[in-house]
Amino acid sequence: MYENKHRKFKRNYIFTFTLLLLTIAIMHNGWAKRAHSFAFDNYLTARTDTVLPPTDTLPVVGKDSLKANVFSDSLHADSTAIVKVDTFHIRMSKDSIDAPVEYQAKDSMVLDVTNQKLFLYNETNVKYKDVDLKAPEIVFDQQTSIVKARMKLDTAGKSLGQASLIQGDITTVSDSLEFNFKTQKGLTHSSYFQQAELYNFAEVVKKVDAQTIYAYKGRFTTCNYDMPHFAFRARKIKYISKKVAVTGPVGVEFENVPVLPVILPFGMFPLAQGRHSGFLPPQFTVTDRLGLGLEGFGYYKVINDNFDITTRADVYSYGSWRLNFTPTYRVRYRYNGSLNFSYQNTHQGFKGDADYAKNKSFHLTWGHRMDSKARPGVSFSANVNAGSSSYTRYLPTNAIIDQSNGAGGSYSQPQSFANQLSSSISYQKTWIGKPYNLSVNLNHNQNNNTGIVNLNLPDVNFNVNTLYPLQPQEMAGSGKWYYKLGIGYTGSARGITSFVDSTFTFKQMIDTFQWGAQHNIPISLALPQLGSIQISPGFSYQERWYSQKLFRTWNSQTRKVDSTVNKGFYTARDISMSVSFSTAMFGTLTMKNKEARVQAIRHVMRPQMSIGYKPNLAKSYYVNTQTDTSGRRRLLSHYDGGVYGSFGYGESGSVGFGIDNFLEMKVREKKDSTSEEEGDGLKKVKLIDGFGITGSYNLLADSFKLSTFNLYARSTLFDKVNITASANIDPYLIDSMGFRINKYAWQDNKISLGRITNGSLSVSTSFKSKEKDKDKKAKDKQMQYDNYDNLTADEIEQQMNYIRNNPSEFVDFNIPWSINLSYSLSFSKVLRRDYSGFDTRFTSSAQFNGDFSLTEKWKVGANGYFDFRTLKIPSFSMFITRDMHCWQMSINVTPFGLWRSFNISINPKSGMLRDLRINRTRTFRNN
């Protein structure tokens, strides 16, 4: 008993001595900021147990159980080994914690030795493992391992700070809290904390483990204001970190005003990040042809980390329905893709009505991308968009299937105007270290108006880069001129077929299938320059393979050309040789007045000329055939309509010519009194990016020796307006039916270069105001990177498609206004199918889109295009958006066009509550 008292006295003495040293340190430094371990019992036990038991006083050699430390002392002449034994035997106290606790306080620290409590005051901080606690006042009880923290008020009742507890990714701010370091349990009062996108408040919060939290009289929302615009209230809430939040009866409130009728018996709010399985809620809609409907109801199933499936269904009161099946797959750093198959059964109106219509159709999309690092030199990609031509005609609302949230539930109208569908599947391989490469492509295109589908199955290309057989492997200097003699190879093979989708049969596809192949062997030689002139001779051999021959004869009874096709294997060849000359000339006009705005104008002219010869190897398969009732005859080839077409007829000894021009000027910038940068104040302004003309003259032709003139021009005016133009000028006159006659347009003293047979013009520009907050763009970009950090490339593409298809939901209020304008014009003369003359095809349209901020929160915008040929606006839509902080309202109106629609939507911005929206849609289809 005496020994126990003696040990207790000694322990208290050591503890008091330690406190004295800490007090001296605090007085010396002014305020306490020191890391210390709260394992007081461990410390005291270790100090008490330093008295060695009698059995441990003797040195022991050769026993591993005592962990002996043997070393040699070089000072001893006899090199006798001296053995030292660690005789400390530490016993851990039962109430000790398993890691050190670091603490600091700005004001003061009080240590209660008797009760083993530590009091910290003013801007205190306690850290233990992943727990970081900050508060105005903190009390730590060593005996129970419980830390208590609370807020503090000044004399005016203003809060000087609250208790903040950070553990992992959960931050809790409370008026007061208690936390047990051992059990990791805690209890807080009037607490704010965040779980995923939810901002939560509860009068009482109980933390039972690192993942589970219970809340009493709680409120949660996605609005980050202290007084949120909207919130959900529940009496009891259970949070499971990164998984789900479950409530009892839950109500909704706006601006702290409860919406009494809206009370749900329970609520489940997903908190899991990334993909997780679950039901997809529908959206209510109304259409004039299909009636009331629920769109987008379905289920999203995660199979594993690499595969998931989404199914959605749309149901309408008039009997129509649609199913969407969308699997997606991904293997990181290898490949990713998604497929969407949609099948719909449409009933418009009621049976017995005059306008009743029934239709079954489908639509298929597939996208696949291969990571370039998966197999260096090999790539595979797919972009399939195919289906019934009637699919877009009978869509209940719109046509683009949105896959941003799993596929299939919402639609976007512009697809209804896309009369062309196209697909491509591509495989490419490049042999590393070898001069050749291979590509295999499968292509598809179809016209939704005519229902004609064209398939390329397959399209194979094999290329060999230019080889220099006369060039030695090791060469010093430029080498001999004949070292530059190069030879290459390009080969391709293609199969094509066509059919009408509504009457499709395999027999029809096989009957219309034809294939062809093409081989090209170019030989080139780069001779040394003669002064400023570059001379390049060349030779080319081409061969084409055909699977059919086309025979056309004039039928005097039916007064038209009859055509017959013979299947088989046929070949045709062609040879050409040429020598080209090219150079460049420069000219600069410098102004004498050094203060003039325009200081210099620079002109670059690149003329070129070539001489070529081609024998007439195509004479055997061209036939002079009558094509109309007037007796006009034309040379028609047996290989017209083939996969690669026919070689040109006639012997050619041509002289080619062309010239390209580039024009720019150097101007003096306007002086800016606020600028401190030094320099000459000059900048270059491009006037003409390119302007030229090309043509040729055939010396060996018996007629029509001069070719058409090809003109082109490119320019960017004021760095804002992009202009591109091109035209073909035929120098020969035509007869009354539009056919050329061998007579120049400038004959008979006429001033004319000829007639324009086809041409195009495009002009585009865009204007926008300055950004109000330049830093906001960088912040938004960084936020976008953060949001996309854990997404695959396919998921990012789906998100971007959703943004493009729903522009009113993603409005940049940082730019007050923006306008984009473009105009396109094209025309061409096309020979009629019965050879009776030519038709001119003309298109002219203007596209526009823009938006304008009425206020910082309101924005209006519109987009569409105008067809000058029909003087109509086929597509036009406008939108109005209102930024309501955590909510957003958008109104979309399409007043005319193929589809007329009206939509108003109010929804939270949070992705978690994307489906919680008030939506009203009305759509009408014009007949």
434-448 pLDDT, tens digit each: 999 999 999 999 888
Give the per-residue pLDDT at 11. Answer: 47
For the cut 60, the answer to whether the pLDDT of residue 256 exceeds it is yes
| Cβ(177)–Cβ(163) below 8 Å | yes
Tens of pLDDT, residue by residue over 409-433, are 333 333 444 567 889 999 999 998 8
Residue 171, amino acid: T
- Cα 336 from Cα 330, distance rounded (Å): 4
Lowest mean pLDDT among 5-9, 401-405, 477-481, 749-753: 401-405
Lowest mean pLDDT among 77-91, 327-341, 797-811, 861-875: 77-91
Q: Per-residue pLDDT averaged across 722-736, rounded?
A: 91
Residue % of the chain over a pLDDT of 90: 31
- The pairing of strands 918-925 and 283-287 is parallel
In this predicted model, which residue has the larger pLDDT, 672 or 76? 672
Give the per-residue pLDDT at 810. Answer: 54
Count helices and strands in the chain by DSSP H and E runs: 5, 56
Residue % of the chain over a pLDDT of 70: 80
Q: Per-residue pLDDT averaged across 806-815, rounded?
A: 55
Give the per-residue pLDDT at 595. Answer: 82
Name 869's bridge partners.
none
- Cα 457 from Cα 515, distance rounded (Å): 9
Give the per-residue pLDDT at 653. Answer: 92
Closest by CA to 624, choosing from 611, 639, 607, 637, is: 637
For the cut 70, the answer to whether the pLDDT of residue 572 exceeds it is yes
Give the per-residue pLDDT at 33. Answer: 38
Tens of pLDDT, residue by residue over 92-120, are 666 666 778 888 888 888 988 888 888 99
Closest by CA to 188, choosing from 147, 132, 154, 247, is: 147
pLDDT band (50, 70, 90) for residue 168: confident
Q: At a CB cut-off of 8 Å and minimum separation 6, what does 668 contact?
A: 595, 596, 597, 598, 599, 681, 682
- Cα 274 from Cα 288, distance rounded (Å): 39
Give the per-residue pLDDT at 41. Answer: 39
For the cut 70, the answer to whether the pLDDT of residue 585 exceeds it is yes
CA–CA–CA angle 376, 379, 381 (5° rounding): 155
Lowest mean pLDDT among 492-501, 610-619, 771-780, 850-859: 771-780
In this predicted model, which residue has the larger pLDDT, 507 or 677? 507
In this predicted model, which residue has the larger pLDDT, 669 or 77? 669
| Cβ(173)–Cβ(132) below 8 Å | no
Instruction: With both helix axes pointing from N to C terminus, report the angle between 40-48 and 2-29 in degrees, rounded to the nearest 10.
Output: 130
pLDDT band (50, 70, 90) for residue 285: confident
In this predicted model, which residue has the larger pLDDT, 325 or 269? 325
pLDDT band (50, 70, 90) for residue 796: low
Closest by CA to 819, choosing from 786, 859, 857, 848, is: 848
Residue with tokens 């704010």: 192
Candidate ranges 193-197, 334-338, 909-913; pick with highest mean pLDDT: 334-338
Tens of pLDDT, residue by residue over 10-69, are 444 444 445 444 544 444 444 333 333 333 333 333 333 333 344 444 344 343 433 333
Tens of pLDDT, residue by residue over 692-714, are 999 999 999 888 999 999 999 99
Rounded to 5 degrees, what are φ and ψ at 774?
-70, -30
Tens of pLDDT, residue by residue over 324-381, are 999 999 998 899 999 999 999 988 777 777 777 788 889 999 999 998 888 888 999 9
| Cβ(816)–Cβ(769) below 8 Å | yes
- Cα 54 from Cα 63, distance rounded (Å): 17
Candidate ranges 154-168, 391-405, 484-498, 886-900; pick with highest mean pLDDT: 484-498
Give the per-residue pLDDT at 927. Answer: 56
Rounded to 5 degrees, what are φ and ψ at 495?
-120, 135
Q: At a CB cut-off of 8 Å and minimum separation 6, what does 266 contact?
A: 246, 247, 248, 249, 250
Per the prediction, the chain carries an average pLDDT of 80
Give the per-residue pLDDT at 633. Answer: 87
Q: At a CB cut-off of 8 Å and minimum separation 6, what does 861 contact?
A: 807, 808, 811, 849, 850, 851, 852, 878, 879, 881
Neighbour tally for 537: CB within 10 Å = 15
Lowest mean pLDDT among 543-547, 587-591, 907-911: 907-911
Q: Is the dihedral of CA 138, 140, 145, 146 positive or negative?
A: negative
Give the per-residue pLDDT at 801. Answer: 57
